Structure 1
Amino acid sequence: MVMVLSPLFLVFMLGLGLTPLTLAQDDGRYRHFLTQHYDARPFGRDRRYCETMMKRRGMTSPCKDTNTFVHGTKNDIKAICEERNGTPYRGNLRISKSPFQITICKHKGGSPRPPCQYSATEAYRVIVVGCENGWPTHLEESFIPPSK
C-alpha cells in the first residue's frame, strides 16, 4: 500500500524537526550569558575575585577589557525578560525593576595577553539586558538606580 503524504503534513513534520534546533540555539545563548555574567555566590569581590573569575570563565585570552558579574538568582535575572522584574527599555532591551549586586571587573591595561590584571568595583545597580524568547542573552549596561 502506497501512502501519499500531504504537503501540510510535510510542513508540520519539518517544523517539528527544526524546533529543537531553535530551542538549543537559544539555550546556548542563555548559557553563554550565564558564563560571562552570572555568579550567584561571589567570594571576595576584589581584584583576586576578578582575576580568578575572568580566567575561570575563559575571558583572558585575550584579556577582556570590562566584564560585569551579576549576583542574584537565575530566576530574578530571567524575570527581567518578563513583566515580573523588567520593563521595556530602548528598542528590544529590558531594564530591571529592582537593583542587583554586581561586580565590575576592569582590565588594568598593558598587554592583552595573560596574565590579565583586573580591578574590581562592587556596586548595587539596575541592569539592562537583551532577551530572546524570554531568556536573557546579552548584558547591555548597568547603572545606579535614581533616588525615589
Structure 2
Amino acid sequence: MVMGLGPLVLIFVLGLGVTPPTLAQDDYRYIRFLTQHYDANPTGRNDRYCETMMRRRGLTSPCKDTNTFVHGTKSSIKAICEDKNGEPYGANFRISKSAFQVTTCKHVGGSSRPPCRYRATSGSRKIIIACENGSPVHLDESVFH
C-alpha cells in the first residue's frame, strides 16, 4: 500500500513545481488586498478601531496616510470582478453595483512614524476595485460614489 503511494506523491510534488508563477503572484496580491482592505465584522468603526486595525494589519511603518476597510463578505467583494455585482469602470477598474459599509482611516498628526493616530469616517458607498483572475487586487480610494 505504501509503495503504491510513492508515484502519486512524486507526481503531486512535481505538479507543485510547475505551478505558474503568475498564479502564485495573483494569490499574493489578493491576500494583500484582503489584509489591507477587508474586515467582515468590524467593532466600533471609530478612531480606536482605525488605530487598532492599521497597527494589526501592518500599515503603520510608516504610517499609511489613508486606508479603507470594506465590510462585507469575501464572495460579495469578489462578485464585483464579475457581472454579478460589478460593471466596468474606466479602463482597468470595476465598480460595485451595490453599496458596501466602509470605514476610512485617515492619518492625523505630523510624523509618519509610529505611534500613528487615525481619524475614522464610516459610511456606505459603492467601491471601485481592480481585478486579476477574478479576484480583487486593488481598491481605488480616490473616487467616492
Establish whether TM, by shorter chain, passes 0.5: yes
Matches within 5 A, 1:93-104: 93-104=93-104
Taking the aligned partners of 1:95 and 1:24, their CA distance within structure 2 comes to 25
Matches within 5 A, 1:109-148: 109-141=109-141, 142-144=143-145
1:22 aligns with 2:22: yes
Q: How many residues were matched structurally?
A: 129
- Displacement of 1:24 after TM fit? 1.2
- Displacement of 1:18 after TM fit? 4.7
SS at 1:143's partner residue?
coil
**What corresponds to 1:80 in structure 2?**
80
Larger radius of gyration: 1
- Residue identity matched to 2:59: M
Taking the aligned partners of 1:109 and 1:134, their CA distance within structure 2 comes to 38
SS at 2:79's partner residue?
helix
* Stretches of structure 1 lacking an aligned partner (at least 5 in a row): 1-15
Percent identity (aligned):
68
Query: Runs ≥4 in structure 1, deviation > 6 angstroms?
Result: none
Describe the superposition over 1:1-31 as per-residue Cα deviations: whole angstroms up to 9, x where unpaired.
xxxxxxxxxxxxxxx9252x22111100000
Report the aligned-residue RMSD.
1.5
**What is the TM-score with the length of structure 2 in the denominator?**
0.85
Taking the aligned partners of 2:83 and 2:42, their CA distance within structure 1 comes to 27
Matches within 5 A, 1:7-86: 17-19=18-20, 21-86=21-86
Describe the superposition over 1:11-64 as per-residue Cα deviations: whole angstroms up to 9, x where unpaired.
xxxxx9252x22111100000000000000000000000000000000001000
